[in-house]
Structure 1
Amino acid sequence: MDDSSSRCPPVGARHRVTIPVPIDPSGSRGPTKRQAASDDWRRTSRGFYVPSHVEPSPLQRIAEVAVLLRSDRIAVTGWASLAWRGDPWASGRRADGSLTPVDLTSTHALLKPQPAFRLSQERADPREFEVVDGLRVTTAPAAVCFAVRHATSLDAAVEVLDMAYLADLVTPEEVGEWAQAHPWQRRRPRVAAALELADENAWSPQEVHLRLAWLRATGRRPLTNRPVFDSSGRRVATPDLLDPMTGVAGEYDGDVHLTRAGRRRDLGREQALRAVGLEPFTVVAGDLRDGRFEERLRVAEGRAARVASADRHWTVEPPDWWVPTTTVAERRALAPHGRRIWLRRG
């Protein structure tokens, strides 16, 4: 193997992770054998340890695998590459909360299996390897397509793609171009299907699954986080989802909405939306599984149908002064001060 570690910058300097160390008989650069066996240290892989107080966060788990990658023929890919690049939703957890290994890809290098990582058998292209904060990772399009192709379901694949869009890591064009350039990849049709269903402006995984359920229930695809304006051009609110055909707005309420301040904001937004002729309804955790979502959607559609045309004073067409941010390209084009102004979500 080609040991290129000396040519790479230190791993994780910007990410503030703790790099595992091997046993050191002197105890100066690592734990002694006795110390490593105590509760003060946690073994991360064969021969490597970190202090036991170090939490195995997604970035920390990636760093713990990084010390094993001494060949420039191996790179981190999938969810771990996305997380390392700044996708906060790439957690490395399955829907049931269990951990998934760090995905690795290689040109033809071998690495002895360990529980912390999973080495793909697919041949990688070294031209798609990049070093980010000292760690060799695949490009963002390659990592997204890997994660999408290996997702447990199409809905999970759409969530991966939507959250990569949210982090502005890839555009639909970049993902499509990568898939077209790699027609031999396994499960490539999954990428095409996810691209068809994905949205560049979803703000949370829960919104993704609410949107997909809405599409299945009605055959109509609601708009995501589209600002609503009144007849004078004033922004009324930005609902999670909006069906412009029926005038129904859907909101997913997570735990952050349970506080007194959060509930006060929600009630004010519902009142503002109804004042311009929209009919909002709320979904909470569990509603998508037990069928309550569809019932609430039908009730909201029934109420919206009874709103007179003269009482509808809303539009999704922005005034001239509004700066759109519904696509990755639009968000990337913003200057830093513009991002602070226009990407305040809520």
Structure 2
Amino acid sequence: MYVPSSVDSDRPQQRVLEAATEIPGGHVTGWAAFAWAGARWFDGVDGNGNARPVPIVVTNHRYRTRPGILLSAERLPLGQWYVLDGVSGTHPLRSAAFEARRATTLRHAVALLDMALQTDRVSIAELVEYAGTLNGWYGVEQLRQAIGLADENSWSPMEPEMRLHWQLDLGLPHPLCNHPIFDLAGDHIGTPDLLDVEAGVVGEYDGGFHLAGERRAGDIQRESLFRRAGLEYVTMTSFDRRDPTRFLQRTQEARARALRQGQERRWTSDPPAWWTPTVTVEQRRALTKAQRRRFLRGVA
């Protein structure tokens, strides 16, 4: 076995392939199984930009851990692995649970589950049922807590991070994620990252690519439309990730204004009859290939 010098061995899928080749008879799991299947957000890099080891489940103890590979000897029942393009990997439920059980924090576990749910290869109901079979396994309590906080309609890892500030730091109810908002005539106003239905507050995450040009102009117009419909608006930026104190304060102030105004709502989160909903895994799985291309472009 060899790798041509022209190949970028830092690419996630290449790393998975090389690791799987080193451990014949093993089954890639966790982020590596999702990356090999082409999942968007599983790049095998930690929060500091360092490459994470490729996790591989082995069914015997003749292998030793080596650089770039994390071996797991947890039992692997029949039916929990499959072969894709010559590489054996664990079932998506097993892979997602592995990541959440071993995540360094509960918030990180939730973000990992959100990104697994975005692939539509697992659902929250399926994760709940699977977690029920893991009594006594390492990290299962964190997995169960993470499932309770997860959402099937996050579009990027920043969204669960922002959502958990609302839920865990401010004690707010679970907001709707990427849920379309309509005016009372049934016209689509916009689809915000977060929506606090109780108070009528929209939450948006603005990364660096939101700060200039056409994208910035579009964001300003979106904010105007939301406010025109009577919604309060709060933005989280990349700078707020270092210290979310000001973002939390802005959220509390926006929510207080929204509740204080108490005006008649000129918006609804209930879609009109002609709208095709895509906010749950079940709804997205029911789409045809043409519908997925049309409705999920740039998302999944």
TM-score class, shorter-chain normalisation, is: over 0.9
Aligned pair 1:189/2:145, yes or no?
A: no
Deviations 1:19-70 (A, max 9, x none): x60xxxxxxxxxxxxxxxxxxxxxxxxxxx4416625111111112122132
- Report how far residue 341 of structure 1 moved: 2.3
Match of 2:33 among 81, 85, 94: 81
Instruction: Say if 2:234 is the partner of 1:281.
Output: yes
1:158 is the counterpart of 2:110: yes
Instruction: Tell me if 1:224 matches 2:187.
Output: no
Change (3 A) 1:184 1:298: closer
Indicate whether 1:70 and 2:24 are aligned. Answer: yes
Distance apart, 1:96 and its partner CA: 1.6
Aligned residue for 1:203? 155
TM score, norm. by length of structure 1: 0.82
Alignment RMSD: 1.7
Alignment of 1:1-346 (within 5 A): 21=2, 49-51=3-5, 54-71=8-25, 74-216=26-168, 217-290=170-243, 291-307=245-261, 309-310=263-264, 312-344=265-297
Structure with bigger gyration radius: 1
Distance 1:246-1:218 versus aligned 2 partners, 3 A rule: same
Whole-Å separation in 1 of the counterparts to 2:255 and 2:136: 45
Q: Which runs of 5+ in 2 are unaligned?
A: none
Which structure 1 residue ranges, 5 or more long, are not aligned? Answer: 1-19, 22-48
Q: Assess if the C-alpha contact under 8 Å between 2:100 and 2:143 holds in 1.
A: yes
Q: Report how many aligned residue pairs link the two structures.
A: 297
Query: Following the alignment from structure 1 to structure 2, what is the Cα–Cα distance between the partners of residues 204 and 127?
Result: 30
What letter is aligned with 1:131?
V
CA 1:305–1:178 in 2, change beyond 3 Å: closer, same or farther? closer
**TM superposition score normalised by structure 2:** 0.93
One-letter code aligned to 1:240:
D
Q: Is the 8 A contact 1:277 1:307 kept in 2?
A: no
For structure 1, which segment, 107-116 or 312-321, has the greater mean C-alpha deviation from structure 2 after superposition?
Answer: 107-116
CA contact (8 A) 1:331 1:339 kept: yes
Q: 1:69 to 1:134 in 2, by over 3 A?
A: same
Per the alignment, residue 24 of structure 1 pairs with none
Cα distance in 1 for partners of 2:196, 2:159 equals: 14
What SS does the corresponding residue of 2:74 show, helix, strand or coil? strand
Distance in structure 2 (CA, Å) of the matches to 1:120 and 1:97: 23
Please list the CA deviations of residues 192-244 of structure 1 after superposition, one character each: whole Å capped at 9, or x if unmatched. 11110000011111110100001121332211111000010000001100111
Identity percentage over the alignment? 40
